[in-house]
Amino acid sequence: MAGPLHGLKVLDLSRVLAGPWAAQILADLGADVIKVERPGAGDDTRLWGPPFVTDADGTPGDAAYFLAANRNKRSLAVDLASADGQAVIRRLAAQADVVLENFKQGDLARYGLDYATLSAEHPKLIYCSITGFGQDGPHKHRPGYDFMIQGMAGFMSLTGEAGGEPLRAGVAVADLTTGMYSAIAILAALRHRDASGEGQHVDMALFDVTFGWLANQAQNYLVGGKAPGRVGNTHPNLVPYQVFPTATKPVIVAVGNDRQFAAFAAVLGHPEWAADSRFKLNRDRIANRDMLVALIIEALATQSADHWLAAIEAVGVPVGPVNDLAQAFADPQVAARGLLVEVAHPVAGRIPTVAQPMKFSKTAPEYRSAPPLIGQHSRAVLADAGFTEDEIVALESSGVVSQHP
């Protein structure tokens, strides 16, 4: 069965991560996503390696970074700086449901490819812009990269050890969450269009999204009036909720309520903790955090991680290991949930990729094709859009459009 977005046409003018991530979500759900790239160079992340995939003779190809965010797309290599290239995009936009772009604020207006211009001709168009800081405000002209956004929006002030250096997350969370929110926003705009016939401009900013998902930490500040700081792997509102050493290797214990604490204490051989006025309630445990953590560390040091993982899990308390990626991929849950899928790459053969985490009972995500080579589908995309063979040849001859050999 076709994916839930089968029949949706998306013109993806974005590059790097936030925009491509949003477009890949739509593509995996069945949309026909045309990735527009610069002839020759293509998306910047094609070169963000090593590692790179290789062809049969070992020649390096695209970086793994690019492969992570561009599955199920068709690549059109076209020169947007040329008038003929801009005309190609306007012709494709006339047939698209969605245009997605992450140029700097105002850049595409120079080419007549901005929302105001395209929507005047196609009022049902959904046009999603992703920038660092949005289409207005004092920072609107500033470039925005994930790392600096994590810092500016407050995320890094919460990340790292107490008293230590502020740290970014291990993956580009500002980009990735902006991509996810953008996909949600596009779908909401499409729902509105289905009901009203109206298209609209979706204005997404990395700063807004990162600021928006500070969640309980932001609310802690708004209610408590004090900016939270870095607390390492502990939790500002729950105890015990952190990484603990054992006799062999560390484990994560995440006690979420008083009932779970009582069960945890019993497993450690200290059921009396659950009745102790210093530890009975979560607020008591927060007030006496250092004392309780020291007692837990002493108890856990008596047995191996494997022992504690089994014993604590058996009483329904959230517990788990600290896996590296090799260990995470080897977890049987990955295979059981189908989280690893292979796709046929035109140069490298079959390559593994991480599946969409969404599960549907009727309209599952599709894994039709690997991330494309630069301009791999240029001719097919133009032909599908109604360009004649003579028009395609003329665009190729002028260098406006290129097709991968």
> What is the set of active-site residues?
175
Residue 267's CB: how many other CB atoms inside 10 A?
Answer: 18
d(CA 365, CA 327): 26
Closest CA to 42 of 70, 18, 22, 68: 70
Q: Which residues contact 299 (CB under 8 A, 6 or more apart)?
A: 268, 269, 270
Q: Which residue has the tokens 């059921």?
A: 271
Percentages helix, strand, coil for the chain (3-state, rounded to 5) are 40, 15, 45
Cis ω on the peptide bond leading into residue 51 (within 30° of 0)? yes
Closest CA to 385 of 161, 78, 157: 78
DSSP sequence for 334-360? HHHTT-EEEEEETTTEEEEEEPPS---
Q: Which residues contact 103 (CB under 8 A, 6 or more apart)?
A: 13, 129, 131
d(CA 68, CA 172): 12
Cis ω on the peptide bond leading into residue 50 (within 30° of 0)? yes
d(CA 367, CA 3): 10
Closest CA to 261 of 243, 246, 283, 245: 283
d(CA 240, CA 284): 11
